[in-house]
Amino acid sequence: MTKEIETIEEFIKESFELREEAERYNKGSKSTHHKALAFRGQSDKAYKLIPAIGRERQLSCDISILNQERNLIEMAKYKLPHIFKSDLLPIDLLSLLQHYGIPTRLLDVTSNPLVALYFASLDDRVDGEVFAFEYNDSDKANYPVINAIAETYKFAFATSSPLLSFFRTVINQPYFNEQREQFVDETDEQGGGWIKECCEQLIFVNAIYSIIMNMTLIYVRSQEPGDALGLRGQSCISLTK
């Protein structure tokens, strides 16, 4: 659903209505699904919801996303080892890279619609856009698969990696220690299918590193492990300046 809004008053009214709808759902819901909202503002409504690592990739000769990501991460860790420490969880490392302006597969979102409105209003020459995302607020944990996706660059040494081999590699990483037994009877094909299902969902992550505690991050939707592709939003508000 898309709505065009011309005034701040209209924007605030629409934001409150979205929140009230979520609150009504949460009060009446007996399930574990707790509806929450996140917002992202973009200064030009022509922009697509693509993270920095995936933008302006038009030529077939462009370096692959995986190779570019690997180069950026390894260079950051080499140049600033006291900041990008080797003991960081993969998702925390990506959050920190994002904070320092290094292109990643993450998109910044916020729980405050007025923050999103600010970013949507930065360019007076064009109409901006605010996206509202609905997600399950009960599902905040950094599950192992989130760290596995964040660490794709380590395990895919070409432009893509077969899902079954990717699954078999990441299941043996330390962040899967507590859940590994759940996959003992899984074949590589079944595990690869599970990874694919996870990559096709919108995954919201609350950054926990101290200097970016107020930043909420969102993973991009992926068709291949490691590919930063388009992202779907449930509703958007076009702002007419």
SS3 of 231, please?
A: coil
Average pLDDT for 25-47:
85
SS3 of 134, please?
A: strand
Confidence grade of residue 231 (pLDDT, cut at 50, 70, 90): very low
Lowest mean pLDDT of 14-23, 106-115, 130-139, name the range: 130-139
**Predicted pLDDT at 60:** 52
Confidence grade of residue 53 (pLDDT, cut at 50, 70, 90): confident
Residues 32 and 35: their CA atoms lie apart, in Å, by 10
Residues 156 and 55: their CA atoms lie apart, in Å, by 20
Confidence grade of residue 120 (pLDDT, cut at 50, 70, 90): very high
**Predicted pLDDT at 77:** 94
**Predicted pLDDT at 232:** 32
Confidence grade of residue 211 (pLDDT, cut at 50, 70, 90): very low
pLDDT at residue 34 is higher than 90: no
pLDDT at residue 18 is higher than 60: yes
**Predicted pLDDT at 192:** 84
Computed over every residue of the chain, the mean pLDDT equals: 78
User: Apex CA 109: angle with CA 126 and CA 178, to 5°?
Assistant: 155
Contact 84, 96 (CB under 8 A): yes
Average pLDDT for 178-188:
82
Residues 133 and 110: their CA atoms lie apart, in Å, by 10
**Predicted pLDDT at 31:** 67
Confidence grade of residue 160 (pLDDT, cut at 50, 70, 90): low
Residues 230 and 55: their CA atoms lie apart, in Å, by 10
Between 35 and 215, residue with greater pLDDT = 35
Crossing angle between the packed helical segments 65-79 and 90-99, to the nearest 10 degrees: 80
0.95 surpassed by pTM: no
